[in-house]
């Protein structure tokens, strides 16, 4: 005798045999368990990421400066635009940077913390040029003081970098394309939101913000920060013990300017 289990027997008119159709009740529990396990994994991963983000945010907020209403609005706007850009890239499948945020870069003011663009090619500068525009010195000192206060960077260190980079010549351009007082490379200037690298205010604010980011990255180690400013972060981190002679001279020159200013 043959027993048929877990099958529905259906009959079609005109046919003399039954066609068994297997019931899927046996497989349903396993599928359900897999779905539940997958949901649990996704939930655990989401919770883990949220906890990590919360920890980083709390750490950042513990040392963040007090922001006024305009700065908070700027920060929120910037975050929203960056999140929208990333969402756009995920939805569109685009793995490269899009131009979605480009029209709004003017609103993303570099006035909150230090910032480090992606490491780029070697940025070793040329020797400082002669500066014939001494009438701007007083105004530049005011800008340096403003930048030093905003980004918590010693103003004499900023002056040392400017002295070594351009000798206070706002129109200075290196053979490699570095521009202005703090000799910002085009890509770096763009990432910092500097629209006119030859504008003294924009250049010093952007350059100081970049310098602040380097100081934060290297835990306040001035020599490493200056080496990265001159030679590039990638080069310094790949070859920390092989600084070029020009970079070593660059660091020594800035430190001498710094100590002379403190004397």
pLDDT > 90: percent of the chain: 46
pLDDT attached to residue 28: 53
Catalytic residue check, 187: no
CA distance 77 to 72: 8
Asked if residue 182 and residue 252 are part of one domain, the reply reads yes
Asked if residue 73 and residue 5 are part of one domain, the reply reads no
Note whether residue 61 is domain-resident: no
Q: Are 207 and 181 in contact (CB under 8 A)?
A: yes
Residue with tokens 């969402």: 87
| Alpha carbon separation from 203 to 85, 189, 191 (Å, rounded) | 27, 8, 12
Write out the two tokens for 67: 């922001």
What are the phi and psi torsion angles at 4 (to 5°)? -110, 120
Expressed as residue numbers, the domain containing 15 is 1-55
Asked if residue 224 and residue 140 are part of one domain, the reply reads yes
Asked if residue 207 and residue 88 are part of one domain, the reply reads no
Query: Domain tally for the chain?
Result: 3
CA distance 44 to 174: 52
Asked if residue 71 and residue 51 are part of one domain, the reply reads no
pLDDT tens column, 124-140: 554 544 444 444 556 99
Note whether residue 87 is domain-resident: yes
- Catalytic residue, from 165, 187, 202, 237: name it: 165
Pick from 243, 248, 210, 244: nearest CA to 229 = 210
Asked if residue 244 and residue 171 are part of one domain, the reply reads yes
pTM greater than 0.75: no
Q: CA torsion sign, 164 to 165 to 169 to 173? A: positive
Mean predicted lDDT score pLDDT of the chain? 74
Q: CA torsion sign, 117 to 120 to 124 to 129? A: negative
Q: What is the CATH number of the domain that holds 226?
A: 1.10.530.10
pLDDT attached to residue 52: 63
pLDDT tens column, 194-242: 999 999 999 999 999 999 999 999 999 999 999 999 999 999 999 988 9
Asked if residue 30 and residue 79 are part of one domain, the reply reads no
Residues of the chain short of pLDDT 70, as ranges, are 1-31, 46-75, 77-78, 80-82, 84-115, 117-138
Asked if residue 211 and residue 147 are part of one domain, the reply reads yes
């Amino acid at each position: 005798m043959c027993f048929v289990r877990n099958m529905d027997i259906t009959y079609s008119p005109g046919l003399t045999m039954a066609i068994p159709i297997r019931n899927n009740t046996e497989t349903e529990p396993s599928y359900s368990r897999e779905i539940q396990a997958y949901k649990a994994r996704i939930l655990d991963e989401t919770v883990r990421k949220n906890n990590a983000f919360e920890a980083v945010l709390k750490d950042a907020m513990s040392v963040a400066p007090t922001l006024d209403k305009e700065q908070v609005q700027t920060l929120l706007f910037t975050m929203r635009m960056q999140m929208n850009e990333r969402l756009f890239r995920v939805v569109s499948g685009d793995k490269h940077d899009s131009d979605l945020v480009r029209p709004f870069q003017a609103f993303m003011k570099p006035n909150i913390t230090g910032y480090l663009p992606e490491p780029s090619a070697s940025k070793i500068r040329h020797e400082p040029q002669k500066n014939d525009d001494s009438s701007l010195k007083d105004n530049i000192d005011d800008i340096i003081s403003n930048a030093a206060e905003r980004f918590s960077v010693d103003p004499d260190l900023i002056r040392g970098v400017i002295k070594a980079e351009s000798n206070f010549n706002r129109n200075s351009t290196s053979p490699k394309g570095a521009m202005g007082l703090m000799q910002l490379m085009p890509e770096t200037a763009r990432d910092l939101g500097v629209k006119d690298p030859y504008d003294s205010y924009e250049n010093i604010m952007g350059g100081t913000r970049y310098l602040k980011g380097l100081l934060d990255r290297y835990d306040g180690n001035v020599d490493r920060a200056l080496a990265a400013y001159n030679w590039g972060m990638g080069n310094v981190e790949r070859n920390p013990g092989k600084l070029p002679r020009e970079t070593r001279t660059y660091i020594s020159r800035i430190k001498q300017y710094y100590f002379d200013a403190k004397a």
